[in-house]
Chains A and B, each alone.
Chain A
Amino acid sequence: MTLTVERPKVRRRPPALVAGAAGFVVLLYLASWILPLPYDPESVDATAVLTGPSPAHLFGTDANGSDVFSRVLAAGRVDLTLAVLGTLAATTIGVVVGLLASRTGKLARGLMTVLDVLQSFPLVLFSVIVVSLSGNDLKAVVAAIVLIGSPTIVRLVRSEALTIRTLRYVEVAESIGVSPSRVTFRHVLPNVTGIICAQAAIMLGRALMIIATLAFIGVGVTAPTPSWGAMIRAGANVIATGNWWVAAFPGLAVVLVVLAVNLAADGVQEFLRRDR
C-alpha cells in the first residue's frame, strides 16, 4: 500500500498575468514616447468638435476638437513620469524616516509625534492647497505624493525594522561595538528591503491615483498639457449630452494602469513571501 501525501496547494497568481501587467505598463509608457501620435495632442480643431470614435479619430475628439487617443497617450507620459518620481521620492524619504524612527531616543519619538500630527490633517485637501499655492508647479505634485504616501511607508518600515531589531544578530552587532547608525543602515536596512520593494510597487498605483485626483480638481497638471484626471473632468462636462468617449477613454487608462501596477505589486509581494 502506498501512502501519498498531498502537498497543500498554494494558490498563486499566474506569473504570466503579473509579468503581463508589469509589461503592459512599461510598454504603454514607452509607446507614449516612441509612437508617433496621430495628431498633436494640444492642437485645437474647430471642424471636428465632439466627434465619436471613428477610423480617423479612434477615441473620438473632445470639445476643443483635439484627438482623444493622442491626448490619452500624451497624458501617459506626464502622469507616469510624475508617478515614478513621486514614488521614488516618497519611498526614499519614508524609508530613511522610518529607519530613524525605529531607533530609541528623542529623535525617534519626535519623528513619530510629527507623523501623528501630520496624519491628523486631511492630507489630500492639504496637498491641493500646497499644489495650487505653488502655482501648479509639477515639483509640488511630487511633494504632494510624498506628503500623502510617505506616512504609510514610514510606519511600515518602522514596524518591520523594530522586529528586525529584536533579532539576535542586531543585538550581537551592538555587543561588538558597531555604531547605532551603522547597525541601522548596514544590518537593519538590507533586511527590510523586501517589504520596501513591495510597498514601493503599491505606492506607484497610489501615486497615479493622487495625480489623477489632483488634476480632476484642476490642480497640478493643467491645460493645455494633457493629463488623465483633467481629461476626465473635461469629459464629465459633456457626458450628459451623450459624448461618453471624452471621459471614458482616459478613465479606462487610469483603471487599467493602476490595476496593472497593483497586480505587479501583488506579484512582488508573493515572490518575497515564497522566499521566506
Chain B
Amino acid sequence: MSEPLLDVRNLRVEYASPTGTVHAVGTPEDPVSLQVHAGEVLGIVGESGSGKSSFARTVVGLLPPVASVRSGQVLLQGSDLLTASPGTWRTLRRRDVAFMPQACAAALDPLRRVERQLVDVLRLAHPEMSKPSARGLAGELLEGVGIRNVAEVLQRFPHQLSGGMAQRVALCLVLARRPKLLVADEPTSGLDVRVLRQTMDLLVERCAADRTGVVLVTHNIGVVAQYCTQVAVVYRGVVVEKGPAAEVLRNPTHEYTRALLGAVPRRGRPLAEPYRPSLVVS
C-alpha cells in the first residue's frame, strides 16, 4: 500500500498530576503506533479514560496544557506535526487538518449568522477567494447536506436552527475546506439515532468523496461496525488490537475486545462477564 496519510509512531502522552504521572496515550513498554491512509476511516474504541480523546487531541495539536508528549512522531504526509510551530499549525488547520468535537452543533458561534461563519472558514482556507464566491459556495455546501431553504438558513443565527439542522451546518463548517485529515472526537455522542445516522452518513460520504482520512473516536461499537474500515481497540492508553474493522469485530483476538463487544446490549443474549485483566498493565 502507498504511504499513509497519517503515520503515528511510538507516541506517548502523559498527564502530570499531583499524585504522579498518568499514561494517557501509550506506556513506556507499549507506545502507540497507528496509520491512516487517504479515504480510510479508522475507528478508535475503548472505555472512558482509555486515552482515545487524548490521542485525537494530540493529532490535531489541541492537548490541554497539563499534557505533555513524551516521545513519538505524528507524521502527516511525512512531516512531523509534533515539532510544528504555531504558525505552521495554523496553516495546516486552515486547510488540511480538521477537528470535529463532541456535540459539534456547539461549534457554531452563537452571535454570528450561519453564512458569515461558513464564509469565514472558506476564506481562511482560501484567502484568494472573493466574498461573493465564498457566499455562493456556502449555499452549495448547505444544499449538499440536504438543507432545502438554503437562502433562509444562511441568514439565521445558530439558536434559530433545530438540533439536527445545527448538526448538519456544523458538519459543513468542519468539512467546508475539504481537509485531508479529519479527527472526530466522539461526534455522535448525545445525538438521537436519526440525527446520528444522518451525521455519520454525510460525514463518511463526504470524506469518501474527497478521499479524506478519518480518525473517528467513539464509544459506539455500532458506529464502528457500520462506518469504519479500520479499528483500533484501546485499553488504558495501549492499543490492544487493531485491524480491518469487519475482521476485528467478527473475530476479536484480545480478551478485552471480546469483553467490550460482549458489553453491547443485544436482545436475547446475556451480557458478557465484565473485563478483569489477568495481567494489570500499569
Specify whether A and B are partners. Answer: yes
Q: Is A46 part of the contact surface with B, judged by Cβ < 8 Å? A: no
Main secondary structure of the interface of B (DSSP, over half): helix
Q: Is A2 part of the contact surface with B, judged by Cβ < 8 Å? A: no
Q: How large is the interface on A (under 10, 10 to 19, 20 to 34, 35 or more residues)?
A: 10 to 19
The answer to whether A187 touches B124, judged by C-beta atoms less than 8 angstroms apart, is: no
The answer to whether A172 touches B111, judged by C-beta atoms less than 8 angstroms apart, is: no
Q: Is B65 part of the contact surface with A, judged by Cβ < 8 Å? A: yes
Q: Mark B96-117, 1 if CB is under 8 A from A, else 0.
A: 0011011110111111000000
Minimum CB–CB distance for A104 against chain B, Å:
7
Minimum CB–CB distance for B155 against chain A, Å:
18
The answer to whether A168 touches B98, judged by C-beta atoms less than 8 angstroms apart, is: no
With A169-B109, A190-B111 known as contacts, the answer to whether A175 contacts B99 (CB < 8 A) is: yes
Question: Which of these binds chain B: A33-41, A94-102, A176-184, A196-204?
Answer: A176-184
Minimum CB–CB distance for B97 against chain A, Å:
8
Chain A residues with CB under 8 A of B206: none
Nearest to B158 among chain A residues (CB) is A169
Chain A residues with CB under 8 A of B111: 190-191
Minimum CB–CB distance for A68 against chain B, Å:
49
Kindly identify which residue among B65, B106, B110, B121 contacts A176, using a CB–CB cutoff of 8 Å: B121
Interface size on B, residues (CB 8 A): 28
Contacting residues of chain A (192-225) with chain B, CB-CB under 8 angstroms: none
Nearest to B62 among chain A residues (CB) is A175
Contacting residues of chain B (79-127) with chain A, CB-CB under 8 angstroms: 89-95, 98-99, 101-104, 106-111, 120-121, 124
Chain B residues with CB under 8 A of A171: 62, 101
Q: Mark B56-88, 1 if CB is under 8 A from A, else 0.
A: 000010100100000000000000000000000
Chain A residues with CB under 8 A of B120: 178
Nearest to B97 among chain A residues (CB) is A175
Q: Mark A153-188, 1 if CB is under 8 A from B, else 0.
A: 000000000000001110111111111000000010
The answer to whether B90 touches A172, judged by C-beta atoms less than 8 angstroms apart, is: no
The answer to whether A168 touches B60, judged by C-beta atoms less than 8 angstroms apart, is: no
With A104-B65, A176-B98, A191-B111 known as contacts, the answer to whether A169 contacts B92 (CB < 8 A) is: no
Main secondary structure of the interface of A (DSSP, over half): helix
Minimum CB–CB distance for B237 against chain A, Å:
23
The answer to whether B106 touches A169, judged by C-beta atoms less than 8 angstroms apart, is: yes
Chain A residues with CB under 8 A of B107: 168-169, 172
The answer to whether A187 touches B99, judged by C-beta atoms less than 8 angstroms apart, is: no
Chain B residues with CB under 8 A of A178: 120, 124
Nearest to A167 among chain B residues (CB) is B106
The answer to whether A175 touches B106, judged by C-beta atoms less than 8 angstroms apart, is: no
Chain B residues with CB under 8 A of A173: 109
A-B CB contact pairs (8 Å), 13 listed: A104-B65, A168-B107, A169-B109, A172-B174, A174-B62, A175-B60, A175-B62, A176-B98, A177-B90, A177-B93, A187-B109, A190-B111, A191-B111
Closest 6 CB pairs of A and B: A177-B93, A177-B94, A168-B106, A175-B99, A172-B107, A177-B90
Known: A169-B108, A172-B99, A176-B99. 11 other contacts (CB 8 A): A168-B102, A168-B104, A168-B106, A169-B109, A172-B174, A173-B109, A174-B62, A177-B92, A177-B95, A179-B90, A190-B111
